[in-house]
Amino acid sequence: MSIGRRFCTGIVLVLFFLSIVPSMHAKSTDRDWKDGIILDSNTERGTRVVPTGNGEISHRNDVTYYQIDDGKIVYVVARTLLSRRDSALDVTINGHVQFAIEGATCYLRDSEGKEHKLSIEKKIAKTDAK
C-alpha cells in the first residue's frame, strides 16, 4: 500500500469518527430529562462463576438499586457492578437528580453530571393521600 493511499485511508477514518462523535453527544442531550429525588439505595452482593481452562474463577456480580421519585411514579432502577473499579453512583439520598426514561432503561446523571445507564426493575404509581 502506498503512502498516499494510507494517508487517504487515515483521513477517511478520522472524518468518519469525527462525524460519529457529535451524533453520540446529540443523542444524550436529546433525552427527555426529568427532575426527581433519590429516596433510597441499597446494594446486594453477589458473585458469578466463570469457567477457565484450569477450572473456575469467581467474579463480582453486585447490584445497586436506586429509588427515584418524580412526584407521580417511584422508579426502582438497578446498576450491575461487575468490575472491581465499579462503584455506587455519586448521588445523595433525598437529594435531587436528573433522569430520563427510555423504554426499560433509565439514564441517570450523578452529582458531577455524568450519565449512567440503568435498568428499570419496577415502577410504583403514587396515590394521593387523603
52-104 per-position pLDDT tens digit: 988 998 888 899 999 999 999 999 999 999 888 888 899 999 999 999 999 99
Percentage of the chain exceeding pLDDT 90: 58
- The cell 403514587 sits on which residue? 126
User: Would you say the C-alpha torsion 110, 42, 76, 94 has a positive or negative sign?
Assistant: negative
pTM for the structure as a whole: 0.71
What 3-state DSSP class applies to 8?
helix
88, 36: one domain: yes
User: Rounded distance, CA 53 to CA 82, Å?
Assistant: 21
pLDDT at 34: 96
pLDDT at 84: 82
| Residue 10 scores a pLDDT above 80 | no
User: Rounded distance, CA 37 to CA 121, Å?
Assistant: 17
Q: Is residue 130 part of a domain?
A: no
Mean pLDDT, residues 3-29: 58
On whether the CB atoms of residues 7 and 52 are closer than 8 A, the answer is: no
8, 38: one domain: no
37, 24: one domain: no
**Listed residue (66, 61, 65) closest to 82, CA to CA:** 61
36, 23: one domain: no
Please tell me the least confidently modeled range out of 2-11, 22-31, 61-70, 84-93.
22-31
Mean pLDDT, residues 22-28: 49
Structural domain count of the chain = 2
Torsion of CA 38, 44, 50, 56, to 10 degrees: 150
pLDDT at 23: 47
Residue ranges making up the domain that contains 103? 31-125
